[in-house]
Amino acid sequence: MSGHRPFLEVSGITVRFGGLVAVNNLSFEVQRGSIHALIGPNGAGKSTTFNCISRYYQPTEGRIVVDGEDVTHHAPTRMAGMGIARTFQNLELFGELSVYENVLLGCHSHSANTLGRLLRRPSGEIRDLVDSLIERVGLMHDRDTRAKELDFGHQKLLEIARALALKPRLLLLDEPAAGLRNRDIENLDRLLTELSEKDGITVLLVEHVMQLVMSISDRITVMSFGQKIAEGTPKEISENPTVIEAYLGK
C-alpha cells in the first residue's frame, strides 16, 4: 500500500485498567516518513498508546493499522517482522553485555542465526551494520563498554541503535531525550531528522523536551487524561491556548 495512505492509523482506541480509562477514544494518523510527536502531562496515556501500537497492550476498543494492515490483534512478536521497532521509557538493555553485543542482538529478527550463534559468529555484513549503527548514534568510543556502565543518556542512544538494527520502517521512541545533555540532544535531533528525511523511516515519539519536539516534528498530537486535546504543526501547537493551559504553560 502506498499513495497518500498514512503509514500508521490509530482509530478510536480505548484502554481500560480496571476502572481507569488510560486512553479514551484516541485517533490520530502518522504520515509515511514523517516525525510525529505525542506530548502531554504525565499520566496522559502516551506510553499506554505506544504499548498498544507495539502490541504489548490490547486496546478494549478501536483499531490500529500499519501500512494498510490491521495489526490490532497481532501478537507482539509479529511486529518486528513488520518493521516496527521501539524503545522504552524505562530502558530495557542487557546491562552485562557490551554496546556492540546489545546492538548485535537487535539484528536477530533478520538474521538466520540462533541468538547464541549470532553473538559468537556474526556475519561480516551484520558486523558492519552493527558498527555503522554504533557510529551513527555516536557511541563508537564506548563500543566495548558494558551497557550498565554507560550513563543514562548514552544508554538511551544505545537503545535507539538497537532498535535501528531491526531495520525498522516505523520507530517508536518513548522519551528518547530524557536525561540527555544539550549536546546529546542536538545529536539526537540530527539523527532523527536524518532517519526520517534520508532513510524514510516513520518516527513516532513521546517526548517532554520541547526544544527537540518543536524542532524535529512534522506534526504533534497532544493528549491529556487519555484524550486528544489538540493536533497540528509545532507552530500551531505552541500557540494553542488549550495546550498552553493543559501542558505547556506549566
Question: Which residues contribute to the site for ligand ADP (CB under 6 A)?
Answer: 17, 20, 22, 40, 42-48
> Mask 3-42, x = binds Mg ion (CB under 5 A)?
----------------------------------------
For 126-157, the three-class secondary structure string (H helix, E strand, C coil) is HHHHHHHHHHHCCCHHHCCCEHHHCCHHHHHH
To ligand ADP, the closest distance from the beta carbon of 170 in angstroms equals: 19
Rule CB under 5 A: is residue 48 a binding residue for Mg ion? no
54 binds, among ligand ADP, Mg ion, none (CB under 5 to 8 A by kind): none
Query: What is the rounded distance in angstroms from the CA atom of residue 41 to the CA atom of residue 47?
Result: 11
CA nearest 100: which of 147, 57, 65?
A: 147
Rule CB under 5 A: is residue 54 a binding residue for Mg ion? no
Rule CB under 5 A: is residue 47 a binding residue for Mg ion? yes
To ligand ADP, the closest distance from the beta carbon of 172 in angstroms equals: 12
To Mg ion, the closest distance from the beta carbon of 22 in angstroms equals: 11
> Mask 82-101, x = binds Mg ion (CB under 5 A)?
-------x------------
For residue 14, what are the β-bridge partners? 61
Rule CB under 5 A: is residue 224 a binding residue for Mg ion? no
Give CA separation, 52 vs 14, 88, 108, 149, in Å: 10, 13, 23, 31
Q: How many residues bind Mg ion (CB under 5 A)?
A: 3
Asked if 226 and 47 touch (Cβ cutoff 8 Å), the reply is no
Query: Which C-beta is closer to ligand ADP: that of 38 or that of 130?
Result: 38
Count Cα neighbours of 33 within 13 Å in the Cβ-side half-sphere.
9
Instruction: State the Cα angle at 201 between 171 and 204, rounded to 5°.
Output: 40
Residues near Mg ion (CB under 5 A) = 46-47, 89
